[in-house]
Chains A and B, each alone.
Chain A
Amino acid sequence: VQPPEKPLQPEEWNKLREDFQSPEVFEEVMLNSMIRCSSPIDVAKSLLTYLAKRNGDIAYNVLVKYLTLCVQHGQVSEIRDVYDIMKVRFKILESGAYNLLVKGLSNSDHWRMALTLLEEVKKIMVPSRACYESCIKAASRHQEMKLAFELYDEMLAKDVVPTLDALQSFFDFSRGMEDAELQKELFGILLYLRENQIYPHKTFMRSIKLWFESIPGGNWRGHLTNIKDSGQCPVCNHQLEDSNLTEEEYSNLSERIIRDVIHGSDTFRKTSPQEFEAFQTFVENRLPFDVVIDGLNVSHIKPKRMQCENLFDAVNCLAKEHARLLVLGRKHMLMNSPNWKREIMKEMQSKADFFFAENISEDDAFLLYATLRSGKHCKFVTRDFLRDHKACLPDSLTRHLFRKWQRGHQISKKKSFSFVFSKQPAFRYDCVVQTTGDTWHIPYKDVFEEKYSYRVPRKWLCIQQKL
């Protein structure tokens, strides 16, 4: 439906409504299309007038739609009027209307009203992150940083994930303020990014940079840069944190992998206790390995070649640099078949240790265990992202640890590899927001929404303090 351009007479509305195929939903459809076309508010008003005359009342959903239009146009007085009407007409409102009201009012001089509305929302449910975002933005826009941080803390306490926009507004509006307390809070936000492995996007990064440079007497300077593969920052020559886990994190992670990934709710789902025990003794007797290879995964690299040849190339290539290899496979690889030639298998077994799991067992779980057990220097080779195993870990903290460890220890192939086995090295440095006190290194995303979560940004913001 095309909404009219000018306010219409009740008769004209009536005619339109009668021409419409299903008159019961006419006003809803009409208002929806007005919202879509962002029609002038007067047109909607004339429709409401028609409805009020016709029915003596206006339904709640119609009012909400009208409110959406008002918020879209930023008509604050109108929003307030609608709110007054709603408040008298209905005892409480639902979340949709509250979201709209908070959003509409927070952009105006009546932004404090948005805060009282937020209090009202809290009585019936947990406010949405968009609600909090509007209030935080409004508060920081009016330089009420303390209030904004109170809201932010409250949000975190309620497990509502703050939007990047809300976080950005903190940096945008504290520019040039000399306040030690405030500085601490903002560093806290950067640490929040670090802990949750969130990467800011380009505009957010710019806000952070500008804020740092605006701190009076801080002498902070920011530069955009790319970090070398060695992990050194080309601007300040500072060495980034390496990707190794701490002792405690490491033992924690290996414990969780054994408990949640390998055993899970039932050891029989991925392996069997006998097999796992056999594997454990096998690994303990030959520790430590330098590289653990997922045999089946590697053998599928080039689909046109024989599977054991693929594996043979990989083993040969890795055997040159590393002493101790472990290849994980399944028992069917030992059967002489067109894809698995016995002679080649024999030759490989002289170069590396092999462990063959049952055909119905999951060899990935063994891969993780063997690598973790061998120690921090040990890497593993697979193209698998291991997402299903990561998903077995129940809490996000351990999942982050897993991701970090995976980034540092997984060797995978480049997409377009040449004829020989070429490998993409594991990251030597850790890709998170990090600080040494007088420097900050912040990785950022070039585009607003990064499509692949496994890809880590290669661009960095280096901030250093010159004393």
Chain B
Amino acid sequence: MQSANMLLRKIVRSSVLPFAAQHRMQKDLFLLSRTLSLSLCLKQDKSCEPSEKLDLDEWKKVMKSGLQEEVSETVSEPKEVSSLAAACETLEMWRLAGRAVPENISEEQLKTFMECPSKSAKKKYLKYLHLKELHKKNYKRKMDEKRERRLEAQDQASKTDETKKSPFVCMWSSTMDKAYNWRAAQSMIFGQPLVFDMSYEKEMSVREVTNTVRQIVLSESCNRRSVDPFHIHFCNFKDDSLYHREFIKQYREAWGKLLITVTDQCYTEIFPKDKLIYLTADSPKVMKTFDHDKIYIVGSMVDKSIKTGVSLARAKRLGLETAALPLEKYLLWSTGGKNLTLDQMMHILLTLKDTADWKKALEFVPKRKYCGVVSRPVKELKKTLDLVNTLKHGKGQEEVQKQFAKSYPKK
């Protein structure tokens, strides 16, 4: 008996038994095993048994069974739902379906969502909110991690308990601020004016205005920190305009204390016309040098849709001189618009003012937009570049050779 038992165990342990059970080849052996009360093996067997026939619709039962209570719940709820709640539910379903939809949405955002004129506008808005939410979450997570690390570091520091002594006074940011503000105040008296033309509100959507204001805030801060700041003027600035509201949102109480000039007047009313130069990428004239006696005007506009010639039109109307940055001259342009953001513009102008070095100034043009900096005029280079390209592609060998002979005559 015992030997038989051993034998059985062996069979069970090896993978033969499930196979055997499936094919019912050794019925008698099976019976024997039951009498031997090999309960452990039996359990294993049971899990294998349905392999005979898999109940494919079992998931339906599971889905339906778990629902009975929920059904009664939904019935008890009032049928009347506001359009806001309905939209909220649709959003939830989209989120479940795996679309780019934010997890939490405020009532205001929901209203903006419902006011979107088309399906694609809705989709875009939701995606924007979704990404914003993701960024926020990531930022929060990083902050938490940082705080933990700092706490740990503090713990260790307190253990060693060692006080550092430094010969220098710790420069607090408030001290720095004071120094910066002193400089900015000086620039308001002696500095070169730089005008931001705030008359583009009508050409922009709400989001474009928000972006514009954010870019101006960045440019203002980098101006404040520079060695020799501009005296910034916001011209054509209307009180309680969208710009104004966005600025207050960004600066809060600091808005009243900024060391800049804000006016609803036009720049032509403040400055002599012949000193003004409107900077616009559409200008046919290319800026050669930075003139310290001129007053440059930058249009405060972000155009996500294509609006060519809007700022050029403004300058033409007022009869002002215009200029564009010599991007083509110094950079081998690859992709992207020639219109730069306002803070890049500010960086470039500040560098030009301090150094008059175009190459250094144009370093603030995003790297993705150009493929190289050039010393010779681009036109000349283009000829050689074309030549290289034709050589590479092997088109019209003879012609290329002729051209080559022409441009590089034998000595």
Note all chain A residues with C-beta closer than 8 A to B284.
359-360
Instruction: Choose the segment among B61-69, B186-194, B224-232, B365-373 that binds chain A (4+ C-beta atoms closer than 8 Å).
Output: B61-69
Complex CA distance for A272 and B319, rounded to whole angstroms: 11
Please tell me if the beta carbons of A60 and B56 are within 8 angstroms of each other in the complex.
Answer: no
For window 59-102 of chain A, which residues contact chain B by CB distance below 8 Å?
59-61, 64, 81, 85, 88-94, 96-97
Q: Is the CB of A58 within 8 A of B63?
A: yes
> Which residues 263-316 in A have Cβ within 8 Å of B in the complex?
265-270, 272
Q: Which residues of B contact A53 (CB under 8 A)?
A: 58-59, 62
Report yes or no: B97 in contact with A46, Cβ–Cβ below 8 A: no
Q: Which of A42, A89, A360 contacts B63 (CB 8 A)?
A: A89
Contact B93 A269 (CB under 8 A): no
CB of B63 within 8 A of CB of A93, answer: no
Contact mask for chain B residues 45-80; partner A; CB cutoff 8 A; 1 contact, 0 none: 001001100111111101110110011001000000
Q: Which of B274-303 contact A (CB under 8 A)?
A: 284
In the complex, are the beta carbons of A60 and B93 less than 8 A apart?
A: yes
* In contact, A270 and B309 (Cβ under 8 angstroms): yes
Residues of B within 8 A of A57 (CB): 62-63, 66
Asked if B314 lies at the interface with its beta carbon under 8 angstroms from chain A, I say: yes
Check if A64 sits within 8 Å of B56, measured CB to CB.
Answer: no
Q: How far is the CA of A359 from the CA of B70 in the complex (A)?
A: 73
Q: Tell me whether B313 and A88 are in contact (CB under 8 A).
A: no
B84-123 CB mask vs A (1 if < 8 Å, else 0) is: 0010011001101110000000000000000000010000
Q: Which residues of A contact B94 (CB under 8 A)?
A: 94
Cβ A46 vs Cβ B56 within 8 A = yes
Contact A89 B86 (CB under 8 A): no
State whether the Cβ of B316 lies closer than 8 Å to any Cβ in chain A. yes
Distance in angstroms between the alpha carbons of A9 and B22 in the assembled complex: 14
Known: A91-B74, A92-B90, A124-B86. A360 touches B54 (CB 8 A): no
Interface status of A338 (Cβ within 8 A of chain B) = no
Q: What residues on A are CB-neighbors of B60 within 8 Å? A: 81, 85
Number of CB contacts from chain A to chain B under 8 A: 102
Most central of B54, B89, B203, B308 by chain A CB within 10 Å: B54
- In the complex, what distance in Å separates the CA atom of A318 from the CA atom of B47? 91
Task: Tell me if B310 counts as interface (CB < 8 A to partner A).
Answer: yes
Residue in A closest to B314 when the chains form the complex, CB atoms = A268
B336 shortest CB reach to chain A, Å: 20
Inter-chain contacts of B119 with A (CB < 8 A) = 125-126
Given the interface contacts A49-B55, A91-B74, A124-B90, does A268 sit within 8 Å of B317 by beta carbon?
Answer: yes
| B54→A49 contact, CB < 8 A | yes
Asked if A52 lies at the interface with its beta carbon under 8 angstroms from chain B, I say yes
Known: A7-B56, A85-B64. 20 other contacts (CB 8 A): A9-B51, A9-B54, A11-B47, A42-B56, A49-B54, A49-B55, A59-B96, A61-B98, A81-B60, A85-B63, A88-B67, A92-B86, A124-B90, A265-B203, A265-B310, A266-B310, A267-B313, A269-B308, A269-B310, A359-B284
Can you offer 14 A-B residue contacts whose CB atoms are under 8 A?
A45-B59, A48-B59, A49-B54, A52-B63, A57-B63, A58-B62, A61-B96, A85-B64, A88-B71, A89-B67, A266-B313, A269-B313, A270-B309, A360-B284
- Per CB-CB distance, the 6 closest pairs between chain A and chain B, nearest first, are A268-B313, A60-B96, A52-B59, A94-B93, A52-B62, A45-B56
